[in-house]
Amino acid sequence: MTASLAFPVFSPPAVSRGARRSRRPISRKSSFAPRAGASFLSDVEQAPPDPILGVSVAFRECQNPNKLNLGVGAYRTEELKPYVLDVVKRAEKLMLDAGYDKEYLPMQGLAEFNAATVELLLGKESEAVKNNRVATVQSLSGTGSLRVGAAFVAKFMPGAKVFLPSPTWGNHKNIFADAGVEWAEYRYYDATTVGLDLEGMLGDLNAAPEGSVVVLHGCAHNPTGVDPTMDDWTKIAEVVERRKLVPFFDVAYQGFASGSLEEDACSVRMFADRGIEFFCAQSYSKNLGLYAERVGAINAVLADADAAKKTLSQLNRVARAMYSNPPVHGARIAATVINDPELFQRWNEEMREMAGRIKTVRGTLYDELVTRNPDKDWSFVTRQIGMFSYTGLNENQVKHMTDKHAVYMTKDGRISLAGLSQEKCAYLADAIDDSFRNVA
């Protein structure tokens, strides 16, 4: 057991009543003063399209009958249709029959959900759970959970820098930057091996200042699909302990990556077992298909119950200022599924089915690519895990994929295999092979 890390907690300075009632004259001028006949917001700059969600907008406008949307990470059936899990339908029926009301939830969220989600993350035998060392707040899926955590870091860990893997999910930088938290990157992906740059990662983390926050993808790294092995995770944990870093896990794919809830939580549980304090954001968008319900949680796994109690009180205050309290419907679905033995068993089956379909698509795509270009090493397609594959296509080649073949994907070369069917693998392989061969 290593000595745990202590989060530095600072209280905001009190503002005296006199300070609030300043006698200085109030300026009536504003930088947003409108020009004659123009809106006072005329000078607001147009924001660029979202690099991920913008792909879907372009896809919808495309008229090509062969078009493929491999940009957004949402599961599709073999017929490329959205999928509502059987257990979700059954849970909703049970909820309807129970006659639940629609009253506000507490700031912390639905108690049954919070208890279920932390147990799912850390395991039933977790010492942290048994000893009340986990502060859990239901939040708005993974994004909202990360944002609450980022605001907490900004307020109670002032000056701490957040280190993100390079590359990482496109929204991570926005989330921490908008919370006023400075971020930097650590090496993660090795383009030469199309795998993990463990040496570079450990070197950068070793150089990070003590007390820095390190964002780690618990499983199914987005966008690369490249995960550390358990031996790699041990080495990462050793650096975290030695440098007194604060991990911030992003767990968006538990059960969806490998098909096993236990396997996909191994990294997080190993850190907890070593006595390392950390944050963890959870999402149920992928594994329960609750994309629009915005179900997730922010957890702080800490060294003692008193720290967890105080941290929970402040996470609640952060949530209160942002959205007051979370929505109930999706959280009740998740709690119902997790707490009902029959539904829980069926959920595990459905996750294995979804993960299995993606693995099958990976294998089919690999075979099609090898057939077209046997001299190129395509093994990364089957080595990577989760719904994404990092193809190695550059921005020019991605543009060619879209302009010529109507394959819509993010500019970094990431494709969502959850949006691909076996029937379309040959078409995609043609497009990838053409782009690699003919576009620099």
- Does the structure show a pLDDT above 80 at 231? yes
pLDDT of residue 200: 98
**135-176 tens-digit pLDDT:** 999 999 999 999 999 999 999 999 999 999 999 998 999 999
Count Cβ atoms within 10 A of the Cβ of residue 437 and give its class: 0-12 exposed, 13-18 middle, 19 or more buried. Answer: exposed
pLDDT tens per residue, range 279-333: 999 999 999 999 999 999 999 999 999 999 999 999 999 999 999 999 999 999 9
pLDDT for 1 beyond 80: no
Q: Any catalytic annotation for residue 235?
A: no
Give residues with Cβ within 8 angstroms of 164, minimum separation 6. Answer: 172, 173, 176, 183, 184, 185, 186, 215
Residue 14 confidence (pLDDT) above 50: no
Which two tokens mark 110? Answer: 């639905």
pLDDT of 222 reads: 94
Where residue 21 falls among pLDDT bands split at 50, 70, 90? very low
* Catalytic residue (choose from 204, 227, 250, 264): 250
Residue 7 has a pLDDT of 53
Give the pLDDT of residue 51: 78
Q: How far is CA 413 from CA 167, 389, 399, 416, in A?
A: 11, 8, 10, 10
DSSP classification of residue 82: B
Q: Is 166 helix (H, G, I), strand (E, B) or coil?
A: strand
Mean pLDDT of all residues in 50-57: 82
Residue 351: the pLDDT is 95
Position 34 scores a pLDDT of 62
- Model confidence band, residue 36 (pLDDT cutoffs 50, 70, 90): confident
3-state DSSP percent of the chain in helix, strand and coil, to 5? 45, 15, 40
d(CA 254, CA 208): 28
Catalytic annotation, pick one of 286, 347, 378, 424: 286
Q: Give the residue-averaged pLDDT of 262-266.
A: 96
**Residue-wise pLDDT tens digits, 174-206:** 999 999 999 999 999 999 888 999 999 999 999
Mean pLDDT score, 34-58: 85
pTM, full prediction: 0.89
- Return mean pLDDT, the chain: 92
Q: Do 59 and 71 touch, CB atoms closer than 8 A? A: yes
What is the model's pLDDT at position 55? 86
* Residue 127: how many other CB atoms lie within 10 Å: 12
- Say whether 101 is catalytic: no
Catalytic residue among 155, 169, 197, 378: 169
Residue 286 appears among annotated catalytic residues: yes
- Cβ pair 322, 138 in contact under 8 A: no
